[in-house]
């Protein structure tokens, strides 16, 4: 371990910090764990970020900010609210960057929901019925059909749920992982609360918000 630690240069730590935004000590620890492999160290930090986000997810996030993004010469607009625990964090550059990045992502991808938990029962059952019928038509046995349905539903969630989508600026990271990285860096619970997306001439504009705990219990 000492040999690995000695081989971790300040330049490597700096590069990892620039790529991930994680604290310097966390970057050094990740590089040591990954034996100096930068890409593996990024994976280590992402996993720790998700774990940190999970631990903080129960904390109240009643502060935050609303951001906007206008695209395509004023043809597409997004209004987005992200919550955090303190007004101080809401005003930081990192939080504002997250707000802008996710609003831009929504403008580009037009998600219908924020989380998998927010998908309506009607939408979920409709998609499952379609995929089940398609798979059954191939003559495959029932257990195989259900496996196919499960795989197609995972793809469905990735297409329509914001937190499941690959970030348009870095396809190897989902929006959920992007938020988790910021949670790890800022030390507060962060939550995408709601958004609205408008497109000129399109009557089917999108409005989405996370379900309350009461709504989740009812569903």
28-37, 49-58, 98-107, 137-146: least confident range: 49-58
Domain residues for 49?
A: 2-56
The pLDDT of residue 219 is 52
How far apart, in whole angstroms, are the C-alpha atoms of residue 178 and residue 166? 9
Residue-wise pLDDT for 186-210, tens only, equals: 888 899 999 999 999 888 778 888 8
DSSP code, position 114: S
Q: Do residues 165 and 151 both lie within one domain?
A: no
pLDDT tens digits along 113-144: 999 999 999 999 999 999 999 988 988 888 89
Query: Is the pLDDT confidence value at 4 over 70?
Result: no
Total-model pTM = 0.72
Express as a percent the part of the chain with pLDDT over 70.
86
Shared domain check, 22 and 81: no
Q: How far apart are CA 207 and CA 215, in angstroms?
A: 17
Shared-domain flag, residues 51 and 67: no
36 pLDDT above the threshold of 70: yes
Tell me, yes or no, whether 102 and 68 share the same domain. Answer: yes
Number of separate domains in the chain: 3
């Amino acid at each position: 371990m000492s040999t690995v630690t000695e081989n971790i240069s300040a330049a490597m730590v700096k590069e990892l910090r620039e790529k991930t935004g994680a604290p310097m000590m966390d970057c050094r620890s990740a590089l040591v764990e990954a034996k100096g492999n930068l890409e593996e160290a990024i994976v280590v930090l992402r996993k720790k970020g998700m774990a940190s986000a999970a631990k903080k997810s129960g904390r109240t996030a009643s502060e935050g900010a609303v951001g906007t993004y206008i695209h395509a010469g004023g043809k597409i607009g997004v209004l987005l609210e992200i919550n955090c625990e303190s007004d101080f964090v809401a005003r930081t550059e990192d939080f504002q960057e997250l707000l802008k990045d996710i609003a831009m992502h929504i403008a580009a991808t037009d998600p219908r929901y924020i989380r998998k938990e927010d998908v309506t029962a009607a939408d979920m059952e409709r998609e499952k019925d379609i995929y089940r019928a398609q798979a059954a038509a191939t003559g495959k046995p029932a257990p195989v059909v259900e496996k196919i349905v499960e795989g197609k539903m995972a793809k469905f969630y990735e297409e329509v749920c914001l937190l499941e989508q690959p970030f348009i600026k870095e396809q190897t990271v989902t929006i959920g992982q992007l938020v988790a990285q910021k949670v790890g860096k800022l030390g507060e619970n962060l939550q995408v609360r709601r958004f609205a997306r408008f497109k000129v001439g399109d009557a089917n504009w999108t409005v989405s918000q996370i379900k309350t705990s009461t709504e989740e219990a009812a569903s």
